[in-house]
Amino acid sequence: MTAIRITRASPLTTLQDAGRFGYLRHGISASGPMDRAAYNRAGTWLGGAGSTAIEFTRTGIGLAVEGGSLAASCDGGSFSLHHNGKAMNWPARLTLQDGDVVEIAPGADGNYGYIRFDHEVDVPLLLGSRSTNLVAGLGGLEGRALRKGDRLELGAQSKRAMSQHPRAVGTEPLPIRFIWGLHADLFGEDVRQSFVVGSFVVSQRIDRMGARLEDRTGVFAGSPILSLVSDAVVPGDIQILGDGTPIVLMRDHQPTGGYPRIGTVIEADLDRMVQLRPGAEVSFEPIRLSKAHALLTAGAQ
């Protein structure tokens, strides 16, 4: 049986398929790839990819193939890739044989990368998905992050589909677009205005639950501490903690929350948001819902 041996793993490396949808009321957020577009592109380069990807973080990952041959593809951010010691372009499609080694080292850009295979990763389906939810300790491999020495058996080969030659997709440093949130009115016109004209810095504290931002100009300093009835939370919600720290909630968010939310990053820009590294400057631009829907539809094509 063909298997993948993890020879080196970045922190918080997990297995992710498209996500575990439909269980919010049971207290389970959908998880799934932090950068959905990159996960989808990796599938496109391969043509007929298994649904489950390895999602790795900034320091990359090392893999060895055991027992057979397979095809794989990589995308997300910009990493340095070597196949049996030979430097390859990023993103990539790879044909791998028994004993091959793949080394993915930190690159110029991004926090999350994906490797997909032309086989399903043979871990149990849990509530319809193989995604790892680290907060609840569910799914993936034993509900946990992958680590050195883990062996991932590959299941059935996926149906072949049209593949595409991998090509890098550039991202421009545009503002992150958002829709005003359910508590926007509680912040006051002056705070809303300075939120839009100000800029923030991505902090070191970023993970699958959320990205904390540094508010160096003190947009939210002095915001009153509000006692709110807890309400539904969605990925992209920009929540302001009691001490004024903004957090953009991500794929493993808690399904409900009681902190005020000034807005929600649109789905089409969340992939770009998650790839911003600590230290990167970020600004926010409000858009209309209809514009967000147009962007979402355009992105899906």
Partner 1 sequence: MGGSMAHRFAETPPLPNPLIVPLGDQGLLVRFATTLSDEANLATIAFAQQLQERLPEGVTEIDPNLVSVLLKYDPRKVEFERLAGEVRLLVGSGPKLKVRAPRRHRIAVRFGGEGGPDLEEVAAALRLTPESLVAAHNARPLRVLTTGFAPGFVYCGFHPDELVVPRRTTVRASVAAGTLLFAAGQSAITGTAIPTGWHVIGRTEFRNFHPEKDSPTTLREGDELTFEALP
Nearer to partner 1, 113 or 260 (CB): 260
Q: Is 292 in the site for partner 1 (CB under 8 A)?
A: yes
Report d(CA 73, CA 53) in Å as an integer.
10
H or E element at residue 273: helix 267-274
Binding mask 6-25 for partner 1 (x = CB under 8 A): ---------------xxxxx
Q: Is 266 in the site for partner 1 (CB under 8 A)?
A: yes
Nearer to partner 1, 21 or 201 (CB): 21
The residues in 182-221 that bind partner 1, with binding defined as CB under 8 A, are 182
Report d(CA 155, CA 181) in Å as an integer.
43
Tell the smallest beta-carbon distance from residue 100 to partner 1 (Å): 35
Region near partner 1 per CB under 8 A, out of 41-49, 158-166, 249-257, 272-280 = 249-257
| Residue whose entry in the numeric block shows the structure tokens 């299941």 | 155
Region near partner 1 per CB under 8 A, out of 7-15, 68-76, 160-168, 224-232 = 224-232
Kindly write down the DSSP assignment for every residue of 172-197, as one continuous string. Answer: --PPEEEEE-TTGGGG-HHHHHHHHH
Amino acid of residue 293: H
Q: Is 245 in the site for partner 1 (CB under 8 A)?
A: no
The residues in 105-144 that bind partner 1, with binding defined as CB under 8 A, are 126-127, 136-138
H or E element at residue 293: helix 289-299
Tell the smallest beta-carbon distance from residue 104 to partner 1 (Å): 31
CB-based contact 166:91 (threshold 8 Å): yes
Tell the smallest beta-carbon distance from residue 254 to partner 1 (Å): 7
Q: CA nearest 8: which of 141, 103, 132?
A: 103
